[in-house]
């Protein structure tokens, strides 16, 4: 069973700053990794799939990179609406990471 | 507009049963693999089950296998989750989601809350 570990658990940043979120898989998932954003009381929203492909309507400030076991979600310049929890997810058993909360510093 | 809407959640006693429904609209439901994902209060996301477009294409997470049954009615553009032998740890918001690429979920419903408590 492949386990995804996200870091950090919480990221405290100010609007306009760059956010770098990490997702590490216990075994290679090739490029089959997705990222989601979830705000309180809302369903998750697909941001990135296949490690680096932006989903429809996702702003260009969101980018994904990585392959194998190490993946990164980067938000180039945080907007007020970007403060949320972010999850990664992989193909092998559809499992999600535990999430990273991006909060206002 | 592509949309999913869950219903059927509520309060149920431990050991009880509940059937969740998910109504799809705005896309050719029969052509897509669909999944159920849940989120316990204050916790992360947990994939539970998928049902493919082809008959018999089903899969379950270990945590629900043998207790939950996924099904679909393509004529009614609907997805279902029959939940039996419910436990307190099944308390969560349950989402239905459309699957693409064999694993990721591009469309989600708003969720329905299931509370298992005496």
Report percent pLDDT > 90 for chain A.
Answer: 97
Q: What is the pLDDT of residues A27-41, one digit of tens each?
A: 999 999 999 999 999
Residues of A with CB under 8 A from a CB of B: 32, 34, 36, 38, 42-46, 49-50, 55-56, 87, 89-91, 93-99
Rg (C-alpha) for chain A, rounded Å, is: 13
In DSSP terms, A65 is beta-bridged to: A72
Q: Choose the closest CB to A44 out of B61, B101, B108.
A: B108
HSE, CB side, 13 Å, CA atoms: give it for residue A102: 28
**Residues facing B12 on adjacent strands:** B116
Instruction: Measure CA of the first residue to CA of the last residue in chain B; give whole Å.
Output: 39
Cis peptide before A8 (omega within 30 of 0): yes
- pLDDT averaged per 10 residues, chain B (length 118): 97 98 98 97 97 93 97 97 98 97 96 98
Q: How far apart are CA A24 and CA A27, in angstroms?
A: 9
Cα separation, B108 vs B114, whole angstroms? 17
Q: Do A96 and A88 touch, CB atoms closer than 8 A?
A: yes
Q: Are residues B110 and B54 in contact, defined by beta-carbon separation less than 8 angstroms?
A: no
Contact status, residue B58 vs residue B69, Cβ threshold 8 Å: no
> In chain A, what percentage of residues exceed pLDDT 70?
100
CA distance B111 to chain A (A): 7
Nearest to A50 among B45, B101, B110 (CB): B101
Write down the pLDDT at residue B34.
97
Write the burial class of residue B10 (CB in 10 Å: 0-12 exposed, 13-18 middle, 19+ buried).
exposed
Q: Distance, in angstroms, between A42 CA and closest chain B CA?
A: 7
Q: With contact defined as beta carbons under 8 Å apart, do A12 and A105 qualify?
A: yes
Kindly give the parts of chain A with pLDDT less than 70: none
> Which pLDDT belongs to residue A44?
98
Residue whose C-alpha is closest to residue B32's, from B12, B54, B7: B54
Counting DSSP H helices and E strands in chain B, the numbers are: 0, 11
Find the CB nearest B102 among A55, A91, A95.
A91
């Amino acid at each position: 069973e492949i386990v995804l570990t996200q870091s950090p658990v919480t990221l405290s940043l100010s609007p306009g700053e760059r956010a770098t979120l990490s997702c590490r898989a216990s075994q290679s998932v090739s490029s089959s990794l997705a990222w989601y954003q979830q705000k309180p009381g809302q369903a998750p929203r697909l941001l990135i799939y296949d490690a680096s492909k932006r989903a429809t309507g996702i702003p260009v400030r969101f980018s994904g990179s990585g392959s194998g076991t190490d993946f990164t979600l980067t938000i180039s310049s945080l907007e007020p609406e970007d403060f949320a929890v972010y999850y990664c997810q992989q193909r092998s058993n559809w499992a999600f990471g535990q999430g990273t909360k991006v909060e206002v510093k | 507009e592509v949309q999913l809407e869950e219903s059927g959640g509520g309060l149920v006693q431990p050991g009880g049963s509940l059937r969740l429904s998910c109504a799809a609209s705005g896309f050719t439901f029969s052509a897509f693999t669909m999944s159920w994902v849940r989120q316990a209060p204050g916790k992360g996301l947990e994939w539970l089950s998928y049902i493919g477009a082809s008959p018999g294409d089903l899969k379950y997470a270990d945590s629900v296998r043998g207790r939950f049954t996924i099904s679909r009615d393509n004529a009614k553009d609907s997805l279902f989750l029959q939940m039996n032998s419910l436990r307190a740890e099944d308390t969560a918001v349950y989402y239905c989601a459309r699957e693409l690429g064999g694993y990721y979920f591009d469309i989600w419903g708003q969720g329905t809350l299931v509370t298992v408590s005496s």
